[in-house]
A and B are shown apart, each in its own frame.
Chain A
Amino acid sequence: MYSDKVMDHFMNPRNVGEIPDADGVGQVGNPKCGDIMKMYLKINDGIIVDAKFKTFGCGAAVATSSISTELIVGKTVEEALKITNKAVADALDGLPPAKMHCSNLAEEAIRAAIEDYRSKNPGK
Chain B
Amino acid sequence: MTRDTGKKEIYLDHAATTGVKQEVLEEMMPYFSLRYGNPSSIYKLGRESRQAIDMARERTALALGVSPSEVFFTGSGTESLNWAIKGAAEANSSKGKHIITSNIEHHAVLHTCLYLQKKGYDVTFLPVDRNGLLTAEQVFKAIRKDTILITVMTANNEIGTIQPVAEIGAIAKEHGILFHTDAVQAIGNIPINLKTLPVDMLSLSAHKFYGPKGAGVLYLRKGSRITDILQGGGQEKGRRPGTENVPAIAGLGKAIELASQNIEKYNAHMLNLRNKLIDKVLAAIPYTRLNGDREKRLPGNANFSFEFIEGESLLLLLDMKGISASSGSACTSGSLDPSHVLLAIGLPHEIAHGSLRVTFGETNTEDDIDALTEALIFSVGKLREMSPLYENAAKNI
Contacts and interface: CB of A to CB of B under 8 A. Distances in A.
Interface of A: 2, 4, 7-8, 10-11, 13, 16, 18, 27, 31-38, 54-59, 61-62, 98
Nearest to B312: A58
Given A4-B1, A11-B320, A56 B312 contact: no
B308 A56 contact: yes
B330 interface: yes
21 contacts: A4-B1, A8-B1, A10-B313, A10-B316, A16-B386, A27-B388, A32-B349, A33-B330, A33-B336, A34-B310, A34-B330, A34-B336, A34-B353, A35-B331, A36-B388, A38-B388, A55-B387, A56-B309, A56-B387, A58-B313, A58-B331
Interface in B242-282: none
B293 interface: no
Contacts of B331: 34-35, 57-58, 61
Nearest to A36: B388
A34 to B, nearest CB: 5
A111 B334 CA distance: 26
B70 interface: no
A13 B386 contact: yes
Contacts of A11: 1, 317, 320
A34 B351 CA distance: 10
Main DSSP-derived SS at the B contact region? helix
A11 B385 CA distance: 13
Contacts of A37: 388
Interface of B: 1, 308-310, 312-313, 316-317, 320, 329-332, 334, 336, 349-350, 353, 385-389, 391
Nearest to B333: A98
Nearest to B350: A31
B353 A54 contact: no
Contacts of A4: 1
A39 to B, nearest CB: 10
B310 A56 contact: yes
A4 B353 CA distance: 25
